[in-house]
Amino acid sequence: MERSDFQVFYPISTRWMDNDVYGHVNNVTYYSYFDSAINRYLIEEGGLDIHSATVVGYVVSSNCQFRKPLAYPDAIEAGLRVAKTGNTSVTYEVGIFKQSEDEASAFGQVVHVFVDQKTNKPTAIPDRIRAALVQIKGA
């Protein structure tokens, strides 16, 4: 994946604790980066109120392909786009880039299913969130 494949980017500060004993960012940490970028977008652009929303997105699937190692104190960015939207779900694609590089160091997909908080049953993606998702739909 290339930087040009993404419409939105968020800076991420790597932390000392992100490194594992091999001296690079541990594989599970990338999922935290994915989650942070997605939720920041939903909050800032989709109007998600994390404290009182009645409809929220649950992660039901995720994967990551690792291409090049990153390590603290690398300056990195998460590129975000939407691959697919349904009535109750969305598939995001996230690329993790070293700030100075065009090729992703890691690339993954995350699927959210939107659910009613009270019933835990799938429900339609809220209109404002859907509109935000459409803005970053990939080709």
- 102-115 pLDDT, tens digit per residue, is 999 999 999 999 99
- State the average pLDDT over residues 21-37: 95
SS3 87: coil
Q: Tell me the C-alpha distance between 24 and 18, whole Å.
A: 8
- State the average pLDDT over residues 40-44: 97
Question: Which pLDDT does position 139 carry in this prediction?
Answer: 62
CATH class of 3-135: alpha beta
Residue 127 predicted with pLDDT over 70: yes
Query: What's the whole-number average pLDDT of the chain?
Result: 96
Phi then psi for residue 72, to 5 deg, are: -60, 135
Q: What is the pTM of this model?
A: 0.94
What residue spans define the domains of the chain? Answer: 3-135
Counting residues of the chain whose pLDDT is more than 70, the rounded percentage is: 99
- State the average pLDDT over residues 71-95: 97
- State the average pLDDT over residues 6-32: 95
**Which pLDDT band holds residue 100 (cuts at 50, 70, 90)?**
confident
